[in-house]
Amino acid sequence: MISDSLLRARTFEQKYIAHQDPKRPCFHVTGTVGWINDPNGFSMYKGEYHLFYQYHPYSKEWGPMHWGHVKTKDFIKWERLPAALAPDTEADRDGCFSGSALELADGRHLLMYTGVYKECGDDLAIREYQRQCIAVGDGIDYVKCEGNPVLSADNLPEGGSPNDFRDPKIWKDGDGFFAVVANRAADESGSVLLYRSEDGFHWNFVKILESNHDAYGRMWECPDFFALDEKQVLVVSPQDMVPMGLEFHAGNGVVCMMGTWEKESCSFHRERVQSMDYGIDFYAPQTVETMDGRRVMIAWMQNWATSRCQDPAADFFGMMTVPRELGIREGRLIQNPVRELENYRVNRMSYQNVLVNRLLNLAGISGRVMDLTVLIRPATKKGYASFQMNVGEDGEHGTSICYEPGSSILKVDRTRSGGRFDIVHERSFFVRPQEGRIKIRVIMDKNSLEIFVNDGEQAATFLLYSPVTADAVSFEAEGAALMDVEKFDLVV
């Protein structure tokens, strides 16, 4: 039996399920209609990958959170499914916030999410409380547990806030389960709490896995915790970050901590911290382990601070990044678009040893739904002082990706990308060239630009607001650079 609220959401979104709005990207996940934010419940279930998302179908603004739902076999072609959760029980009456999912041994799909309820205190202030809830289902319909919430204020460590206690990420471990949950600690900054369960339904607090201590932002949201190559990785999305050189930027960011995990004592030893993405529009990522053992991450391709910048003509707001395969190389986390994307490449165009010492365009190198890789190196001993590639151009618009070997800084500027708001448009970050050589891969899908440098050493994600007819690409250099270019259209 589905509730009236869920039925209402499903009825409302019905006419958009098969709708092909030309404004939609070709292979990036969007919501069926209305607003979306964080990816949720990214999991393998009965041989397919399911993805849910924070969803407010009724408007393009954030509102009482539902869970929208899609699934895929290859991370590129997605099938829309009816909304999975609505805020319709006592435990989640004001919202079904972010969470995760996995397949139980008995074939049921288990969702663990944050149930939100608001209450008016004696001081007449309305406070929001967050607790963890469970629902189980068959990949379409989910039933919420009678015992919800399964984790509440009683399961918090001393000083832990019941108002900021959210975003459980669950995983299977041998015969049991673990979950990490974000919490605001007594010092007002974030921590990640570890819980354990025998059956996925009854949970006990284990320990504080990691704490912010007021470094790396304030409250940490959306934790994820997984083994990657020989390391253990903790990913968190901090609010209120302050920049540290070029490594982090102000506001909401995503931080990746690499270290080791001692399972017996449930201890995480942090060794290294880095930004997950150096662009503007990337938040709240979540990962899944694939059938062939890859760790694939997807994130909300948006920035909370700029989420007012909307296209009034579109019936949807918000989308996900391209799913990315994670790895570790020379101690750093690397990420590249899932290899399945290569199955959708057509119309290969390539050039070798092109001299760039002035502004130039190359025949056949253009597009707004494309996979473009450029390999740059010095043409002479003196080399080049800067190399710039401009994408999404039409005379009025354009986004520049500029590399300066002298400083090893790559700068992306989308000031002329059609945005009508006076928001942040630039990001700069360090890259690691080898003898002036740098490889830049660009994935565009209409209004998005995802940049991968040197086979995934850095990723940088940007939304573009320009019309999709702005599809020209040009190259320029100060000094003399040589480049190889390979471009494919992506047809999904």
284 binds ligand FRU (CB under 6 A): yes
State the nearest-atom distance from the C-beta of 189 to ligand FRU, in Å: 15
Choose among 147, 150, 157, 101: nearest CA to 130: 150
371 binds ligand FRU (CB under 6 A): no
Chain residues 61-80 in contact with ligand FRU, contact rule CB under 6 A: 65
Chain residues 95-114 in contact with ligand FRU, contact rule CB under 6 A: 97-98, 114
54 binds ligand FRU (CB under 6 A): yes
222 binds ligand FRU (CB under 6 A): yes
**C-alpha span between 309 and 466 (Å, rounded):** 12
Contacts (Cβ under 8 Å, ≥6 apart) of 110: 101, 102, 103, 104, 134, 135, 136, 170, 200
Which stretches within 340-467 are classed as H helix? none
**C-alpha span between 232 and 260 (Å, rounded):** 5
**C-alpha span between 390 and 412 (Å, rounded):** 10
Q: Cα separations (Å) of 171 from 107, 182, 183?
A: 15, 15, 18
Q: Which residues pair with 355 in a beta bridge?
A: 482
155 binds ligand FRU (CB under 6 A): no
- Closest to ligand FRU by CB, 116 or 477: 116
One of 221, 340, 371, 489 touching ligand FRU (CB under 6 A): 221
Token pair, residue 42, equals 């990214």
181 binds ligand FRU (CB under 6 A): no
- Closest to ligand FRU by CB, 16 or 304: 304
State the nearest-atom distance from the C-beta of 149 to ligand FRU, in Å: 14
* Half-sphere CA count of 405, side-chain side, radius 13 A: 21
One of 13, 88, 92, 167 touching ligand FRU (CB under 6 A): 167
166 binds ligand FRU (CB under 6 A): yes
- Closest to ligand FRU by CB, 284 or 440: 284
Burial 21-51 (b: 16+ CB within 10 A, else e): eeebbebbbbbbbbbbbbbbbbbbbeeebbb
- Closest to ligand FRU by CB, 115 or 418: 115
- Closest to ligand FRU by CB, 95 or 418: 95
> Which residue bears the tokens 């995934």?
456
38 assigned to active site? yes
232 binds ligand FRU (CB under 6 A): no
- Closest to ligand FRU by CB, 98 or 417: 98
Chain residues 114-153 in contact with ligand FRU, contact rule CB under 6 A: 114
Decide the pairing of beta strands 109-120 and 332-337.
Answer: unpaired
189 binds ligand FRU (CB under 6 A): no
Chain residues 22-41 in contact with ligand FRU, contact rule CB under 6 A: 37-38
Contacts (Cβ under 8 Å, ≥6 apart) of 160: 183, 184, 185, 186, 191, 193
What residues make contact with ligand FRU under the rule CB under 6 A?
37-38, 54, 65, 97-98, 114, 166-167, 221-222, 283-284
List, by residue number, the catalytic residues.
38
